[in-house]
């Protein structure tokens, strides 16, 4: 899977929000707010093909988290992006 091109994270009112740049008539019912870890993951994997396992590995390498927790967090991250139609499979 891959994060769709044209997506950017912008700080709006103190929140990191996923924005689809240059698109008119955007469906604003699909808003994704990122914490710092999700923002890091987004930037780390933007423009690359990845799997949930790739994300889990990145989390265990950067943070003090075990593989089971990292996998759950990776699945949640991917599911959030899928719900917002931000990932190509």
pLDDT on residue 3: 93
Q: Which domain holds residue 73?
A: 2-88
Q: What is the pTM of this model?
A: 0.83
Give the pair of three-digit tokens for residue 81.
């992006």
Q: For the segment 17-63, what is each residue's pLDDT rounded down to a tens digit?
A: 888 665 555 555 566 889 999 999 999 999 999 999 999 999 999 99
Burial level of 89, CB count in 10 A (0-12/13-18/19+)? exposed
What does the pLDDT average to over 78-88? 90
CATH of the domain at 20: 1.10.10
Give the pair of three-digit tokens for residue 67.
């593989």
Asked whether the beta carbons of 3 and 86 are under 8 A apart, the reply is yes
Q: Is the dihedral of CA 14, 46, 55, 58 positive or negative?
A: negative
Tokens 């930037």: give the residue. Answer: 43
Number of domains in the chain: 1
Q: Range with the lowest mean pLDDT among 3-12, 45-54, 66-75? A: 3-12
pLDDT on residue 36: 92
């Amino acid at each position: 899977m891959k994060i769709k091109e044209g997506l950017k994270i912008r700080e709006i009112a103190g929140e990191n929000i996923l924005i689809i740049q240059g698109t008119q008539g955007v469906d604003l019912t699909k808003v994704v707010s990122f914490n710092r870890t999700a923002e890091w993951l987004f930037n780390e994997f933007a423009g690359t093909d990845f799997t949930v396992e790739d994300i889990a590995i990145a989390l265990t390498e950067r943070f003090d988290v075990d593989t089971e927790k990292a996998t759950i967090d990776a699945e949640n991250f991917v599911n959030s992006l899928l719900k917002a139609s931000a990932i190509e499979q």
